[in-house]
Structure 1
Amino acid sequence: MAVVRATAEPVEMHGFRFTPLASPSRGTTTLAMWTVTAPPGASSPRHSMTEEEVLLVQRGRVVAHVGDASWELAAGDGVVVPPGEEFLLDNPFDEPADLLACTTAGMRARVGGAEITPPWAL
């Protein structure tokens, strides 16, 4: 068992702030979980992940684009992004949004032709 403390330094990327909560470097074996803060006007590049990812809106609203579909999500709403599916998240609203994200530890993402391993999933 590991205790996860809220002491991790956030990582800024594409206008979003990612704060690790649980990952192998923080005591898990198979899962990674982090918070995402999307300020007003933030928009991620279109990308895909090697593993399924679940996002749950905790505060505010965002628009999730998965494949050819788009949904406006508010607090309490979630979206499941299948592995390999093109995904984009944006906040066209006037208020920031906070989300909780969970996936398989060690997930990799393909962004603009480059593959990265997000540091919050390690």
Structure 2
Amino acid sequence: MCWPGRTWPRIRASSATPAGSPTTAELSTLLEAALAQLTADQVTERLDEVGIANARLRTMAEFAEHPQLEARDRWRDVDSPVGPLRSLLPPVTVPGRESAMGPVPAIGQHTDAIRAEFASGRDRTRRQEQS
């Protein structure tokens, strides 16, 4: 990528070296020196050229506007106590089945049901311990 024809056998031989080892630190130093003068787009282009998976760190606003989310139809509108909100589908979906995207609950909406569920579990555990 940055040093055509150079093999770096010591680093290549230690690809399973744990993070924080001297080889990892050495590799980090080499990479930082090699990439410091490049723009993010140039680094991405070079990594893509040699088949190294990569991604750019985005702000929340950049993430929300990422064109692939729209292209892959990943956004859904869900109801909430403050009105409709744009929400992402879960990462794993089943083709032909729409993911359940229920409304966002109001604060405290399910509190009593959850407390009752935990209380019944506690009661069940006490009964089991007593028998």
Give the structure-1-normalised TM-score.
0.21
Which structure: greater strand fraction? 1
Quick check: which has more Rg, 1 or 2?
2
Relative contact order higher in (CA < 8 Å, ≥ 6 apart): 1
